[in-house]
Amino acid sequence: MEIVAGRDAAATERILRSLPSWFGIEDALRAYVARTAIADASLVARIDGEVVGVALVERRPPETAELVLIAVHADHRGDGIGRALVDAAATWAGFAGASSLEVHTVGPSFDDDGYAATRAFYRSCGFLPVREVDGLDWDGPTLILVLPLAASVA
């Protein structure tokens, strides 16, 4: 498995369609695919040349970068690819001058097993929950998490 910089809208769409519990709303899926072209960084995970994971990162001056999308194809979840994508995104963000990497996800007030797993993944990767906000990215609760980067870019 390798992580490389690359913009692959078709592969991103294929990965998101394998995860309907997270990306089942067509308009939202299309917006993520379109963002592949405009995000500051698009990182892809490849196995034998096939793209199996994607992360999009956008710089949020002055101090932060945001991991706006991370997804691993359903057939390859749980194999360490997501962690490798977070590491690559954190490295990119550090080189881009950010001192933290932020991510938003559905908050714990909304009962959903899939997003509980997503939050466990972020915690495992070192993200710290900051606060839950209603109505930020959707009608329900959004949890903001932050990964401090000072140690990883020292």
Ligand X SMILES: CC(C)(COP(=O)(O)OP(=O)(O)OC[C@H]1O[C@@H](n2cnc3c(N)ncnc32)[C@H](O)[C@@H]1OP(=O)(O)O)[C@@H](O)C(=O)NCCC(=O)NCCS
Q: Which residues bind ligand X (CB under 6 A)?
A: 19, 22, 70-72, 77-83, 105, 117-118, 120-121, 124
Select 16 or 98, whichever has its Cβ closest to ligand X. 16
* Closer residue to ligand X in complex, CB, 100/142: 142
To ligand X, the closest distance from the beta carbon of 63 in angstroms equals 22
Structure tokens at 72: 């691993």
Q: Which is nearer to ligand X, 27 or 62 (CB)?
A: 27
Select 3 or 149, whichever has its Cβ closest to ligand X: 3
What minimum distance in Å lies between the beta carbon of 147 and ligand X? 13
Nearer to ligand X by Cβ, of 97 and 134: the residue is: 134
To ligand X, the closest distance from the beta carbon of 40 in angstroms equals: 18
Q: What angle do CA 89, 38, 125 make, to 5 degrees?
A: 20
CB 50 within 8 A of CB 56: no
Distance CA 4, CA 13 (A): 18
Closest residue to ligand X, judged by C-beta, is 82
CB of 14 to ligand X, least distance (A): 13
| Minimum distance, C-beta of residue 134 to ligand X, in the bound complex (Å) | 18
Token reading at 64: 């932060």
Residue for token pair 């949020």: 60
Alpha helices by DSSP H, the chain: 9-17, 20-23, 26-38, 81-95, 113-124, 150-153
Among candidates 79, 61, 71, which has minimal Cα distance to 33? 71
